Amino acid sequence: MERVYYTERLLDAFRRYYDVNQEVEGAPEEFFARCDFHVTDARYVLSKKNVLWSTDSHEYCYIFSLDHLTLDDYRRFEKYAYDDGMRRITPGHGHKCTAITLIAVCKSCESDARRALRRCRLHKEFRFSLDGWMDFHTALAELDPERVYTNFSGHKNAGVLKKLFKIKPEGEITNEHSIDTANRNCCTGLRLSFLRPLARKNLGHRSDP
């Protein structure tokens, strides 16, 4: 599968639920897009005017696309995503969690880069989690062969990236409906991969090992 085609389909999936930003000043040359997602969870008494409590959760997803991923490339992407994502977080009352997600799409990858991505364990608590926390998710789509790798926090992205391998360019499949179905499934998967953890009623969390 062509790298540009795969990355465009990934961005199409994000567009349904995320705010997509492709023109970002100061981003690495391999930067493809930043996708922002925000959700508020609240409980009311009788009406929405009487709020018992309200929490906000966010995700900033950084997509990078290149032919060959090296360890130096991955470190650059990780630093950029972490620094840019952290400055967007406003810890305090009402902030529950923020996920910073790094997705790299490449034709091939160095084993050291793959290993570093899978072992990433960046995590930060704000005032002992009273003001929320941050988790850093990583995911890699290696197109030749078609394989997906993630760190522990980012494993929910694996299913979405694998589904995109099923969406072939025009001329390689005969059923156009299957393209739309696969793309729609990817969109739903992206939303659920972030919303499922937020469905838990308790506000506690468990850090990555």
What's the pLDDT at 63? Answer: 98
What's the pLDDT at 191? Answer: 52
Q: Quick check: is 164 in a domain?
A: yes
Q: Quick check: is 206 in a domain?
A: no
What's the pLDDT at 93? Answer: 87
Q: Quick check: is 30 in a domain?
A: yes
- What is the count of structural domains for the chain? 1
Which position has the higher pLDDT, 129 or 70? 70
Q: Quick check: is 140 in a domain?
A: yes
What's the pLDDT at 182? Answer: 46
Name, in order, each residue with C-beta under 8 angstroms of 80's C-beta and a sequence gap of 6 or more: 27, 28, 31, 62
What's the pLDDT at 205? Answer: 44
Which residue range forms the structural domain that includes residue 79? Answer: 3-198
pLDDT digits (tens, 9 = 90+) for 4-30: 999 999 999 999 899 999 999 999 999
pLDDT of 130 over the 70 cut? yes
Q: Cα–Cα distance between 56 and 198 in angstroms, integer?
A: 10
Paired tokens of 144: 């030749």
Q: Quick check: is 80 in a domain?
A: yes
Using the structure block, give the residue that is written with the tokens 């099923």: 166
pLDDT digits (tens, 9 = 90+) for 152-174: 999 999 999 999 998 777 645 43
Q: Quick check: is 207 in a domain?
A: no
What's the pLDDT at 40? Answer: 86
- Cα separation values, 58 from 37, 98, 111, 173, 180, Å: 6, 5, 31, 37, 27
Q: Quick check: is 154 in a domain?
A: yes
Output b/e per residue, 86-119; b: 16+ Cβ within 10 A.
Answer: eeebebeeebbbbbbbbbbbbbebbeebbebbee
What's the pLDDT at 75? Answer: 98
Q: Find out whether 100 and 60 touch, Cβ atoms under 8 Å.
A: yes
Q: Quick check: is 203 in a domain?
A: no
Task: Place 106 in a pLDDT band, splitting at 50, 70 and 90.
Answer: very high
pLDDT digits (tens, 9 = 90+) for 178-202: 444 444 444 445 554 555 444 443 4
- Cα separation values, 133 from 9, 19, 45, 126, 183, Å: 31, 22, 27, 6, 31
pLDDT digits (tens, 9 = 90+) for 36-86: 999 988 677 776 777 665 789 999 999 999 999 999 999 999 999 999 999
